[in-house]
Amino acid sequence: MERLQKVLAQAGVASRRKAETLIVDGKVKVNGQVVTELGTKVSRADRVEVQGVELVKEQFVYYLLYKPRGYISTVSDEKGRKTVLDLLPMIEERIFPVGRLDFDTSGVIIMTNDGDFSYLMTHPKFGIQKKYVAKVKGIPEREALKKLERGIELDDGITAPARVKMQSFDKKTGTALVEITIQEGRNRQVRRMFDAIGCPVQKLRRESFAMLTTYGLNAGEARELTTHEVKQLRVLAETGKIG
């Protein structure tokens, strides 16, 4: 279920603010009834009309993108930086990224136009796991890694338990490769977690999103998710098990 004004905006009818005005002015009907209350939620099964014209529903699409560094995970940027949409000019649907990878982080990201699916994939209560490999400055002590595993205090609260594994370290350069799996998606979370133990991230890559990896893709390339993969992800969110 999505808020009516968001559905109108995603369909390209108007901006979110203009869509709210259309609703309040009584120019929107849902299943034949005029709706004037902001916040009304609708599903794809509902028939929505704007000034007598029925809304055309887009088919849902789902893509796995290997995001390179140097792109932001939004649909537009006021500073004129390159976005993940610049990597997918061939896709006609109004897609958006599921969650975010920051400008300097590469790896797996899902692109879709399905808001309900995006919610299942990103809300922490559904426990979708994301695995990262971080190259960090310094060689974390075992106790520091244990702190990351148990949950560490950040400025927006304690993180949920994580799985952490030292992959390798180089005493000569004073750096280490650490694998970390989390099920949250706070802003720059992995980088802030390593900052909290005194080992700032030099390079970060998301290796997997649930069972999805970038296998077979080069940086900047994408592929459509199979129907089975989409079903697996939904079942995983709803039951905690791969379907």
Chain centroid, CA 83 distance in Å: 14
Which residue did the predictor score with more confidence, 9 or 118? 118
Residues 17 and 117 in one domain: no
**Is residue 143 located within the same domain as residue 202?**
yes
pLDDT in tens, 144-197: 999 999 999 999 999 999 999 999 999 999 999 999 999 998 999 999 999 999
Task: Give me the pLDDT at residue 1, please.
Answer: 78
Same domain, 8 and 48: yes
Same domain, 164 and 195: yes
In this structure, the answer to whether residues 137 and 197 fall within a common structural domain is: yes
Among 19-33, 39-53, 72-86, 200-214, the range of highest mean pLDDT = 200-214
User: Does 220 lie in the same domain as 118?
Assistant: yes
- Provide the mean pLDDT of the chain: 93
SS3 21: helix
Cβ contacts of 240 within 8 Å, gap of 6 or more: 127
pLDDT at 243 over 80: no
| 216 in the same domain as 120 | yes
Q: Please list the active-site residues.
A: 102
Top mean-pLDDT range of 44-48, 73-77, 219-223: 219-223
Q: Find all residues with CB under 8 Å of 106, minimum gap 6, and list them.
A: 66, 67, 68, 69, 204, 205, 206, 219
Would you place residue 13 in the very low, low, confident or very high pLDDT band (cuts 50, 70, 90)?
confident
Same domain, 76 and 142: no
Give the pTM. Answer: 0.81
91-134, pLDDT tens digit by residue? Answer: 988 899 999 999 999 999 999 988 889 989 999 999 999 999 99
Q: Are residues 169 and 113 in the same domain?
A: no
Owning domain of residue 143: 129-209
Is the per-residue pLDDT at 2 higher than 70?
yes
Considering the domain architecture, whether residues 99 and 134 belong to the same structural domain is answered as no
Residue 106's domain is classified under what CATH number?
3.30.70.580
Task: Tell me the C-alpha distance between 227 and 225, whole Å.
Answer: 7
CATH number at residue 182: 3.30.70.1560
Q: Are residues 232 and 172 in the same domain?
A: no
| Structural domains counted in the chain | 3
Contact of 62 with 231, CB cutoff 8 Å: no
Q: pLDDT category, 225, cuts 50, 70, 90?
A: very high
The pLDDT of residue 137 is 98
Q: Identify whether the C-beta of residue 191 lies closer than 8 Å to the C-beta of residue 185.
A: no
Instruction: For the chain, give the percent of residues with pLDDT over 90.
Output: 78
**Residue 75 to residue 207: CA distance in whole angstroms:** 23
- Residues 185-195: pLDDT tens digits? 899 999 999 99
> Does residue 205 sit in the same domain as residue 215?
no
